[in-house]
Amino acid sequence: MYYFDHSATTPVHPEVSELMDSIQSTIYGNPSSIYSSGQKAKSVVENARRQIADSISANPEQIIFTSGGTESNNQVLWYMLQNQKKHVISNDIEHPAVIKVLEFLKPFGLDHTLINVDSDGIISIDNVKKAINPQTSLISLMLANNEIGSIQPIKTVMDIARENNIMVHSDAVQCMGKMELDVIDLGVDFLSLSAHKFYGPKGIGILYAKEPKNMSSLIIGGGQEMGLRAGTENVACIAGMGLAAKLATASIDKHINSLLEFEEQFKRGLQTFFPNAIFNGSQVNKLPGLINVSFPKHRSDILMAKLDRVNIAISNGSACGAGDIKPSPVLSAMGIEDTINLSTLRFSFGKSNTPEQIDYLLNQLKSILTPE
């Protein structure tokens, strides 16, 4: 398999897999138990909490383990129902784990405004200012978009938020290992991460909360996670996430350089035989190694099927919307017409790729797009 869909998920790092296997077979105590095997499990959980905190410049007590980015986003948005001010600002290319939750919560009294993005998928700061009203309690913006990779100006938004006593949440699920993540520098109040996006296991993530004592639990039950997330901790997956975060942070410069080289190799090669390719989203302020490209007059679902026959895995947008043969809402929000929208593929490179694999991808695309 030639895998070029790392924005959907990543293969588990061998060291992470080895650690998880070891913990599964040797450390089986409940972290809430006071006897030695339980405390050994608790030690594993707290070590992972420190590793993740270190990777984003947070304090360990600011890290809440969840099942992933979707739950983390939900916890922040449901928490807004308890705020006296009940208006949230987001944008129209957010992940469904934000937009659909906001729609669901509207009948419960949480109002929201979705601001537009430009043709590069970037919000306007003026539109943020215009959307603020006396009831605004939160601005929720994806740090980098999962389909096009465009990076939002979170730090500028933070300046506006502070002036208006508004909290800021950022879904940064796509970012670990692909850009520096420093919650002190970003200034955000909440940040969501998911382990399977940076070579960790699926089903585990975190919510960073600047002031966790002010939060409330989305899942009610026991007092785990400082009373902020009930349920017995998934010790092996938590340990795996901690190590994955440590490895991603340690190798970030090397990884970013590799992704940029793959991206340049792919773009340069593609344009030699298909000069009509349209690269969507910002080509400057974006995540490395994520390329959203339209192939005019070629349907994306047919291209995907043909590439799958030669063992190439790519997507036509968000994995959470895979199987939908309809225009991407993200590209539509950017003003891209349906015929171009439906000809779009997303390529996202990662640690498992090599220059030779990029060449194979280009050769297969050439045979499909320019048959003799």
Q: Based on the number of CB atoms within 10 Å of its own CB, is 122 exposed (0-12), middle (13-18) or buried (19 or more)?
A: buried
Catalytic residue among 250, 278, 320, 322: 320
Residues 206/63, Cβ–Cβ less than 8 Å: yes
| DSSP class per residue in 202-252 | TT-EEEEESSGGG---SS-SS-HHHHTS-S---HHHHHHHHHHHHHHHHTH
Structure tokens at 281: 């989203």
Output b/e per residue, 185-197; b: 16+ Cβ within 10 A.
ebbbbbbbbbbbb
How many angstroms from the chain centroid is the CA of residue 127? 24
CA torsion, ordered 96, 99, 103, 105, to nearest 10 deg: 100
Question: What's the residue count for the chain?
Answer: 372
- Give which of 97, 75, 109, 29 is closest to 228, Cα–Cα: 75
Q: In DSSP terms, which residues pair with 176 in a beta bridge?
A: 179
Output b/e per residue, 71-91; b: 16+ Cβ within 10 A.
bbbbbbbbbbeeeebbbbbbb
Alpha helices in the chain (DSSP H): 14-26, 36-55, 69-79, 96-105, 125-131, 154-163, 183-186, 224-227, 235-250, 252-273, 300-309, 329-333, 338-341, 355-369
Residue 320 a catalytic site member: yes
- Give which of 350, 140, 101, 115 is closest to 248, Cα–Cα: 350
- Could you give phi then psi for residue 170, rounded to 5 degrees? -130, 125
Catalytic residues: 320
